[in-house]
Amino acid sequence: MKVGHIITAIDIGTTKICVIVAVVNEENKLEIKGIGTGPSQGMDNGVFIDMVKASDAIREVIKKAEEMAEISARNIYVGIAGNHIKSQNTLGRISLTTGSEPCEINSEHVRNVIANSKNNVKLQQGNERLEIIHAIPQYFEIDGQEGIMNPVNMSGFNLTAYVHIVMADINTLRNISKCIDIAGYPVEEIFLEPIASSYAILNDVEKSLGSILMDIGGGTTDIAVFYKGSIRFSAVIPMGGTNITHDISIGLHTSPQNAEQIKVNLGSAIAAEIPDNKLIEIEGIGGRGNKQKKLRYLTEIIEARMSEILENSYRILDENNELNMLTAGLTITGGASLLKNNEKLAEKIFNMSTKIGYPNLSRLAGPTERLDNPKYATSVGILYYVQQILSGGKQKNIQSVSMKDPFKNIWKKIVEFFKEYA
């Protein structure tokens, strides 16, 4: 990447928007210039319900980052999540030759076999209004020989690709791009948030040994499973931190704003550790008087909802994965991950080693202290992902959709990825 190149990462969540403006410095590090955060407006679980409000909110946060950076935001890369996301593992298969001699595999064969896997998904009933945003090769097979990571220059008669496909509602994708464009900033690429977060949270050893990444946001919990260096499963659960806040608001008869503050400042995911006689002051609604409630009651509300989120996540993961193979354990990130004792509750439910995922900031320069928080994992991950692609890194196994040309850049990156190893 050229010195002075600007990268802007935007994380659009259900409850918050985060924007980071970074510039490539002379040491080839991304120097943080501007950070902007603000409440998300006009969205519900990743779907736009008011484009005008959403666009105004995004513009305001970008302006905050620009004011701090004293430069204009350019090269916009966006992370998304939401109920509209669908993912599945599939395979593509092509014949390399019709003769009696094997054929040497080149990058065009790789492109064709992945295209075949995408076509197989597109033809499935129910996918008509979905657009593929990621086609991620997991491994390849040549004439029955499995586990091949790079088939280029190898010989065979038939080539099979095992591919992880991530799809999003086509209207939502277009609305996201249009919304940011209305704010005055054309979008370069869009990709799934837990994939971006993995670049900031998980190291190569964790991805190789097998790891689960759970990003608990405001409206959704995004899950990704990595094994042998590649993504093997992803899913979105329509539950997150706002569900906990809503339950607290109802249970304690207080406003959602106060419920959020109580959750963050006093909340815990394990009620048994809280003394039964400890009281807290609860603000009344609409000028009504304050009242006292047991802190234990608050934590019981939190534990019940957090347990539901974790148990639903575990059920989906267990149905689709061999969890005993994921020896690196579980990593929880996102804003709601910071609830006290969250990792303890997760360890109990998942029966595996658990940690809270903070973004690795070692590859950044500038004022990074503010980013040392799980809620910035996606934004930092976007920066790392884009830096890797633009620097010609070898791990180009994530192909995200370009909003300028939905397919051209995907194939270009796949071809470049395998040329690196040729």
Q: Is the pLDDT of residue 406 over 60?
A: no
Residue 361 in any domain: the answer is no
CATH at residue 156: 3.30.1490.110
Name the band, by pLDDT with cuts 50, 70 and 90, for residue 192: confident
Partnered with residue 163 across adjacent β-strands are: 90, 137
Range of the domain at 295: 241-305
Q: Is the pLDDT of residue 20 over 50?
A: yes
Residue 141 in any domain: the answer is yes
Residue 377 in any domain: the answer is no
Residue 247 in any domain: the answer is yes
Cα torsion 23, 182, 190, 408: sign: negative
Residue 421 in any domain: the answer is no
- Per-residue confidence (pLDDT) for residue 401, from 0 to 100: 47
Residue-wise pLDDT for 200-214, tens only, equals: 999 999 999 999 999
Residue-wise pLDDT for 117-153, tens only, equals: 999 999 898 898 999 999 999 999 999 999 999 999 9
Annotate the chain with three-state secondary structure.
Answer: CCCCCEEEEEEECCCEEEEEEEEECCCCCEEEEEEEEEECCCEECCEECCHHHHHHHHHHHHHHHHHHHCCCCCCEEEEECCCCCEEEEEEEEEECCCCCCCEECCHHHHHHHHHHHHHHHHCCCCCCCEEEEEEEEEEEEECCEEEECCCCCCEECEEEEEEEEEEEEHHHHHHHHHHHHHCCCCEEEEEEHHHHHHHHHCCHHHHHHCEEEEEECCCCEEEEEEECCEEEEEEEECCCHHHHHHHHHHHHCCCHHHHHHHHHHHCECCHHHCCCCCEEEECCCCCCCCEEEEHHHHHHHHHHHHHHHHHHHHHHHHHHCCHHHCCCEEEEECHHHHCECHHHHHHHHHCCCEEECCCCCCCEECCCHHHCCHHHHHHHHHHHHHHHHHCCCCCCCCCEEECCCCCHHHHHHHHHHHHCCC
Residue-wise pLDDT for 239-272, tens only, equals: 999 999 999 999 999 999 999 999 999 999 999 9
- Per-residue confidence (pLDDT) for residue 392, from 0 to 100: 63
Of 200, 238, 213, which is closest to residue 362 (Cα–Cα)? 200
Q: Is the pLDDT of residue 179 over 50?
A: yes
Partnered with residue 170 across adjacent β-strands are: none
C-alpha to C-alpha distance for 175 and 245, rounded to whole angstroms? 28
Domain limit, last residue, from 284, 305, 326: 305
- Per-residue confidence (pLDDT) for residue 379, from 0 to 100: 95
Decide: 47 and 38 in contact? Cβ < 8 Å.
no
CATH at residue 269: 3.30.420.40
Name the band, by pLDDT with cuts 50, 70 and 90, for residue 421: very low
CA distances from 71 to 32, 111, 385 (A): 12, 39, 22
Q: What is the mean pLDDT of residues 161-182?
A: 92
Q: Is the pLDDT of residue 389 over 90?
A: no
| Average per-residue pLDDT for the chain | 89
Domain limit, last residue, from 140, 167, 194: 167
Share of the chain above pLDDT 90, in %: 73
Q: Is the pLDDT of residue 395 over 90?
A: no
The tally of domains found in the chain comes to: 2
Residue 39 in any domain: the answer is no
Domain limit, last residue, from 167, 200, 225: 167
Q: Is the pLDDT of residue 413 over 60?
A: no
Lowest average pLDDT, out of 43-47, 221-225, 249-253, goes to 43-47
CA distances from 130 to 86, 118, 385 (A): 8, 12, 24
Residue 75 in any domain: the answer is no
Q: Is the pLDDT of residue 346 over 70?
A: yes
C-alpha to C-alpha distance for 322 and 351, rounded to whole angstroms? 13
Give the predicted TM-score (pTM) of the model: 0.85
- Per-residue confidence (pLDDT) for residue 82, from 0 to 100: 80
- Per-residue confidence (pLDDT) for residue 46, from 0 to 100: 67
Locate 118 and state its tokens: 């995408």
Q: Is the pLDDT of residue 285 over 50?
A: yes
Residue 33 in any domain: the answer is no
